[in-house]
Amino acid sequence: MREMIHFSFSFLGSNNMSLRTAQIRLVSSHPEVYEPCDDSFALVDALLADRINLLEHRPMLCMEVGCGSGYVITSLALMLEQEVPWAHYIATDINPRAVEVTRKTLEAHGVCAELINTDIASGLEKRLAGLVDVMVVNPPYVPTPEDEVGREGIASAWAGGENGRSVIDKILPIADKLLSKTGWLYLVTLTTNDPSQICLQMREKGYAARIVVQRSTEEENLHIIKFWRDFDIQMEAKETVPVNKTAPVGVMDTLLSQVHRLSLWISGNNSSN
């Protein structure tokens, strides 16, 4: 049993008084479970940076895909518990050890989530279709040989296949099915995952995107991207020529440059999202 303080944060109320200081302790670990790292911290920082919007969003159902140690889902539940006490939390992981560790992390912090050992959201699609208001994902994104993806144990925490996109590309259409009409997705990506192309892919499904946190470490350049359905983009997606291999190169280039500009938005722009 280990006790490590990974971070602390405080929430300010309208009177600028600290409402609660939460400390996420790693009360349990397992050699096959991903320990919170720069990517996990960047994701929680993005949620904290967006906390006011999250509170106004008043989510009923929050979901994490790939919960690992439980650091992110526990942080999210603590972040929202006072103002959004009705929110229900669901977390999945393909690694059964991760589910066990997450259970202990949640318990140690006095918050609850439904935990499911499954591949992304397998078996939950019908039950959760169109119901998830907030989805958070720190996927396996490291470029690896394809045959390393989905292996048992700790390798499943990082092995992302070609360009690190194998698992991400499976998650995106599932997220689209599970997210509610006003649902938000927070996704961790690396530059090598081609975040602009991910934004383009999501734009074709009617989602706007912005980078909430961008962070360079010695090893990687992380982007935490927030996606949400945008009415104008949904209309545009219906009207525009589907982008496929036969789309003229010029159309593709224009879209990619638009998405590149879009993905360079930084938090603090005038959008409420």
Ligand X SMILES: C[S@@+](CC[C@H](N)C(=O)[O-])C[C@H]1O[C@@H](n2cnc3c(N)ncnc32)[C@H](O)[C@@H]1O
Residues that bind ligand X (CB under 6 A): 34, 36, 40, 43, 65-69, 71-72, 92-95, 98, 119-120, 138, 140, 156-158, 167
Minimum CB distance to ligand X smaller for 135 or for 209? 135
Q: What is the Cα Rg of the chain in Å?
A: 18
Which residues, at least 6 apart from 125, have a Cβ–Cβ distance to it below 8 Å? 174, 177, 178
Minimum CB distance to ligand X smaller for 118 or for 273? 118
The helix or strand, by DSSP H or E, that contains position 47, with its residue range, turns out to be: helix 38-49
Minimal distance, residue 73 CB to ligand X, in Å? 8
Minimum CB distance to ligand X smaller for 155 or for 243? 155
- Which runs of E-coded beta strand occur in the chain? 4-12, 18-26, 61-65, 88-93, 114-117, 132-137, 179-190, 207-216, 221-229
Contact 165, 191 (CB under 8 A): no
Minimal distance, residue 97 CB to ligand X, in Å? 8
Minimal distance, residue 21 CB to ligand X, in Å? 21
- Angle formed by the axes of helices 195-204 and 231-239, nearest 10°: 80
Question: Which pair of tokens denotes residue 106?
Answer: 């949640």
> From CA 210, how far away is CA 111, in angstroms rounded?
29
Question: Which pair of tokens denotes residue 265?
Answer: 């938005």
Contact 203, 209 (CB under 8 A): yes
Minimum CB distance to ligand X smaller for 22 or for 259? 22
Minimum CB distance to ligand X smaller for 211 or for 262? 211
Minimal distance, residue 232 CB to ligand X, in Å? 32
Minimum CB distance to ligand X smaller for 87 or for 187? 187
Minimum CB distance to ligand X smaller for 32 or for 83? 32
Minimal distance, residue 164 CB to ligand X, in Å? 11
Minimal distance, residue 171 CB to ligand X, in Å? 8
- Angle formed by the axes of helices 195-204 and 249-263, nearest 10°: 110
Number of alpha helices (DSSP H) and beta strands (DSSP E) in the chain: 10, 9
Minimal distance, residue 195 CB to ligand X, in Å? 16
> From CA 269, how far away is CA 13, in angstroms rounded?
23
